[in-house]
Each structure stands twice: as C-alpha cells, then as structure tokens.
Structure 1
Amino acid sequence: MIQQVTTQDFPELTDVWEASVRATHHFLTEADIQYFRPLILEQYLYAVDLACVKDEAGKITGFIGVADGKIEMLFIHPAARGQGIGKALLQYAIIEKGATSVDVNEQNEQAVGFYLHSGFRVTGRCETDSLGKPFPLLFMELGFKIL
C-alpha cells in the first residue's frame, strides 16, 4: 500500500499538497498558497524521504515526508480523507523511518487533533513558522500512553 516516490511524482504530490491545504489551512491566503507552491515543488520535496499511497487508478491520494526522525509533511487529498491513509502513512513514518516528532500549524485544528489522537503531545510553541511568517507552530513529540 505504501510506495516510494520518484521525482516524476513531484508535480502530482504538489497538486495533492495544494488540494489538502485548501481544504484544511483556512488561515492561508491565496497569496500564501501561491508563495508556498513553488517552494514545495522545487525545494521542500527534495529535502525529505517521501512515501505515498495511490488509489486503484494509480493516482496519489496522500503522502508523507520525513527527515532526521521528524515528520516534515503529511498531506491527504480531500477526496481521500477518512479512509485511513493518514494513519497508515503516520505508522509507516514511525515504524519504518523512526519519526518521533512533528511541527504542526496551530491553526490547523484537524491536524493537531489527528496527532494528539495518534499519541503525540505538545512540547512547545512558536509564534511564527520556520520562514518567520505569522503562522504559530506547535512542536509535538510522540508520547507513550500508559495503560
């Protein structure tokens, strides 16, 4: 189910990124999306170890990017949400790539809830994103639930 990504997949990944962002990142303006889109395609995808899920037709429905034990990106196409793709990609990142941390836009409440439900806990906060833009980040670490 989880597949590696090639550079030929980058345009499709970028399309999935944009569709996902438009569905979940309501705090971004159109100008913000247009600013980030070329960065995703030309820089950010190259900086991470990528894996994806494709549907029966071979279309990418979701992807994850990990670097140095940190989840740097996890995006699911809106039409594929609720099918367990995010959970499968997250489990892959944790088990296969050793991912234990993630930075999440605080204003993306769905993502914050997803990571909290998946066993992550908030360990810190910053008023701006990594580019200094006014999008607060929550720093999250994988915690261990005591039964």
Structure 2
Amino acid sequence: MRILAIIFSLMAAPVLAEEPMSAAEFDAFVTGRIVSFGTEGNPGFGVEQYLDDQRVIWSPGDGTCTNGVWYESKGDICFRYDGDPEPKCWAIYREGDGMRAIYTTRPDTTVIFETEAFSVPLICDGLSS
C-alpha cells in the first residue's frame, strides 16, 4: 500500500517545464561571445557577435553585417537591427553547452541552435566590428 502511495504521488508531481532564459541569464551567457547559428535545413544560418550594453552585430555569413541591440520583452529576447523597424523576438533556451531559440515574432516558423562559438571578431564588408 505504501509503495502505491509513493507511485501515485510521483505521478501527480508536476513536470518541470523548460524555462527560457531571462534577460539577465542571456546577457551573462552571450556577452563577449561570437556565436554561429544553424537550423534543421541550414547549418550556416548566420553569426552574431554579442557586445557590451546589449549591442550586437549580425551577419548571415556572407560578409555583410548589421548593427543592432537586444532587449527583453514579455519574457522573450528581442533584437532590433539598423534599417529594420520590425523587432525579431525569440524564446531562448540553454541546450547543452549552447542555446536554442524559437522565433516568437511569427510562431511556428523558425528554430535556430548554436553550432559553434568563435574567439575572433566578425569580418564585415564596410562595417568595422
């Protein structure tokens, strides 16, 4: 009887939901890093350099770069890039030693994952990093 009570109590225990990173966690994890991202069908999705003061430099990997900033909004990490008025918001999760991000601006469209971290600055045509 006691074993049944233990089994039922374990079954009734809530399953811990995976929580996205907070702004503070994200900042601590990315500042000073350069990270390459991929998707299921595109391992070379792009590269982002995370600078101080929530500044970023994004490159789709073709030598072009765009400056931007990131900020927290409604639990998501959002990015606003120069020349693009629409914020790009993501729910970002720790995954192993890296991260995985689910695009929330247009749900059910894009999931990216960290593929590699670099220790050298981005090389950008016409933009000094």
* TM-score > 0.5 by shorter chain: no
Between 1 and 2, higher relative CO (CA 8 Å, sep ≥ 6) is seen in 2
The answer to which structure has the higher helix fraction is: 1
Larger Rg: 2
What TM-score results when the alignment is normalised by the length of structure 2? 0.29
Higher strand share: 2
